[in-house]
Amino acid sequence: MDLKLKGKTALVTGASQGLGKAIAVSLAAEGVQVAITARRADLLKLAADEIQAMGYLRPVIIVADLYPENASEAIAAQALKLLGHIDILANSAGGSRPLPLDGPKEAWLEGMTLNFWRLRELTHALLPSMIERKFGRVINLTGTREPRNLNAAHAAKAAVHVWSKGLSKVVAKDGVTVNCLQPGKLRSEQIDKRMPTEEARREWAKKEVPMERVGEPEELADLAVFLASPRASYISGNVIAVDGAARFFAF
């Protein structure tokens, strides 16, 4: 299938490793000129080198920390300056933030800032140019809707689901789609830190995942690339789980 992505441009956050990097590789493989952003310049350079060595367009690099106020607006401005326009935004930067019952206000604020506020601000900074060009794709990586504990990221990801749903209605007539991908457990730095060996991952997955394995980043990236393509023009406002059938609830 020709995904009709050749010549499009994309900004991928959290692209220094894990799911963001996999999305960047898969977009580049379809002929997309990608801008990759995260804090670690060495890993971003490595990712750009790898993508170029595969024979794809070398991504441009934006080294940036999302925490400072106005970070999102600065990243958006730099991406627009480097690539002229952005057709596709993949928001992958984020992370789990488990908190105890008496978790301090600052910790909740930090988790919400990275996982919701900056993502929303970055998207809103790029939307005007997408609307003007009558084409845009926003893909947000979120997380579980079945929390078993307290975690600021759970609350933030739920906010992303609801905000995305509303936004998808507002920009629908402008050729912009907004979807969320909900990873179960897929290999990345944060997962490998918690389960460093293949044996540990298999043991965990046997109990928690009907497919009895942790997913590979490419298994999510392929769907992200399809959603990013003009082929997915009638799919918007959705939350799609990529979790080896791990979710319990039908709706």
Ligand X SMILES: NC(=O)c1ccc[n+]([C@@H]2O[C@H](COP(=O)([O-])OP(=O)(O)OC[C@H]3O[C@@H](n4cnc5c(N)ncnc54)[C@H](OP(=O)(O)O)[C@@H]3O)[C@@H](O)[C@H]2O)c1
62 is a site residue for ligand X (CB under 6 A):
no
Among 123, 164, 188, 229, binds ligand X (CB under 6 A): 188
47 is a site residue for ligand X (CB under 6 A):
no
17 is a site residue for ligand X (CB under 6 A):
yes
Closer residue to ligand X, CB minimum distance, 52 or 67 = 67
Q: Which residue has the tokens 């994309």?
A: 10
Cross-strand bridge partners of residue 176? 136
Closer residue to ligand X, CB minimum distance, 132 or 216 = 216
Q: For residue 53, what is the enclosing H or E element?
A: helix 41-53
Quote the CA–CA distance of 211 and 222 in Å, as a whole number: 18
Closer residue to ligand X, CB minimum distance, 164 or 188 = 188
Residue type, 223: L
* Touching ligand X, residues 110-129 (CB under 6 A): 114
Helices (H), 84-117: 105-112
Among 8, 10, 18, 152, binds ligand X (CB under 6 A): 18
Q: Interface with ligand X by CB under 6 A: which range of 60-68, 80-88, 98-106, 160-168? A: 60-68
Residue type, 114: L
Collect all residues with Cβ–Cβ distance below 8 Å to 73 and sequence separation of at least 6. Answer: 121, 122, 125
Quote the CA–CA distance of 11 and 74 in Å, as a whole number: 13
What does the binding site for ligand X look like in residue numbers (CB under 6 A)?
A: 14, 16-20, 38-40, 43, 65-67, 92-95, 114, 141, 143, 153, 183, 185-186, 188-191
